[in-house]
Amino acid sequence: MKKTILTFIIILMFTAIFAFDALWQKAQNLSDNNPNFQPGKTTMSVITTSPDLPDSTFMQNTTIFIQYVGEDGKLATEIISQEMFVNVEGEDIDVDLFDDYDETEEISDEEMEALLKEEGVDSSSRGFEAGFSMEESKILSERNPRNITVRNLNETKEINGKIAQGYSIRYTPTRRRRDRIEGTFWLDVNNGAPVMSELYPGMKIPFVKSYFFVGYYTFIEDSNHFYVDRMIGELNMSILTKKMTMLIDSIFEEHFIYDN
């Protein structure tokens, strides 16, 4: 009898483990069949703060982009609106206060190269580019254990009205550190669709000491497709002797499928 109970418990344990694996596999299958969604409209708000500035001082820059397929079949981006204001304790102040960040000091190309080397960045390499692909969800399609490790956190939480299961990931598609991405995916327990991701890319950006992104997803039940609808990021920067933090909130709308 005791042996039977023990066997039953072991079966239950393995069933639970494989059920969690099955959920990740659902996400993989969804990602395999997911088209390349691109946002037709992006509203990006950037709030910049710094300990070098008076208390409660911040600068906010809001930019609206539109994206479309040009006559050459390639994606084209156009800025249709841009607003900026600086605020100290609820009052607008002269934007010149932030000029030191836009034009720090006149430095030569050689001095800039030296600064980049100090940062450990080769300006001629892809690591010099600062950005984050809309296709980061393709991490979910990776099956090669050499390129990705996945660990069930055995934790669920409600996100935007959905119960999501957490998985920590370490994605290393190449041996280069700049291609590494670590973080957490939260998957809908009902269908495996990504609900939220918290990712820390390994790519080096000049003067950026640390940064991360949190992505939120929309799932289209009729087609079993998903896309990123919002991304929030934080960058902590140090330029020469000046420090600043940038909080970035991007809202993606009017998605379309780009097949080229």
Characterize the bridge pairing of strands 162-171 and 194-201: unpaired
- What is the tens place of the pLDDT at every residue in 226-255? 999 999 999 888 877 778 888 999 999 999
Under the banding of pLDDT at 50, 70 and 90, the label for residue 105 is very low
194-201: long-range contacts, CB 8 A cutoff, minimum separation 24:
194/27, 194/137, 194/140, 194/219, 194/226, 195/159, 195/160, 195/162, 195/164, 195/219, 196/159, 196/160, 196/164, 197/136, 197/137, 199/136, 201/132
Q: Which stretch of 27-36, 151-160, 194-203, 216-225 has the lowest confidence by average pLDDT?
A: 194-203
Instruction: Give how far the C-alpha of residue 168 lies from the chain's centroid of Cα atoms, to the nearest Å.
Output: 15
> Looking at residue 113, what is its pLDDT?
61
Q: Which stretch of 5-14, 61-70, 215-224 has the lowest confidence by average pLDDT?
A: 5-14
190: part of which helix (H) or strand (E)? none
Closest CA to 39 of 217, 181, 188: 217
Residue 133 has pLDDT above 60, yes or no: no
Strands (E), the chain: 37-38, 41-49, 57-69, 75-88, 91-92, 148-159, 162-171, 181-188, 194-201, 208-220, 225-239, 242-253, 256-257
Under the banding of pLDDT at 50, 70 and 90, the label for residue 41 is very high
User: Helical H runs in the chain?
Assistant: 2-32, 99-102, 109-118
Residue 134 has pLDDT above 70, yes or no: no
Under the banding of pLDDT at 50, 70 and 90, the label for residue 146 is confident
Residues 47-53 have a mean pLDDT of 80
So where are the chain's domains? 2-257
> Looking at residue 88, what is its pLDDT?
67
Query: What does DSSP assign to residue 143?
Result: -
> Tokens for 103?
């034009």
Residue 57 has pLDDT above 50, yes or no: yes
> Looking at residue 207, what is its pLDDT?
77
Q: In whole angstroms, what is the distance from residue 33 CA to residue 60 CA? A: 38
- What is the tens place of the pLDDT at every residue in 152-209? 999 999 999 999 999 999 998 777 666 788 999 999 999 999 999 999 877 677 777 8
Using an 8 Å Cβ cutoff, are 86 and 222 in contact? no
> Looking at residue 55, what is its pLDDT?
66
3-state secondary structure of 173: coil
Q: In whole angstroms, what is the distance from residue 234 CA to residue 201 CA? A: 12
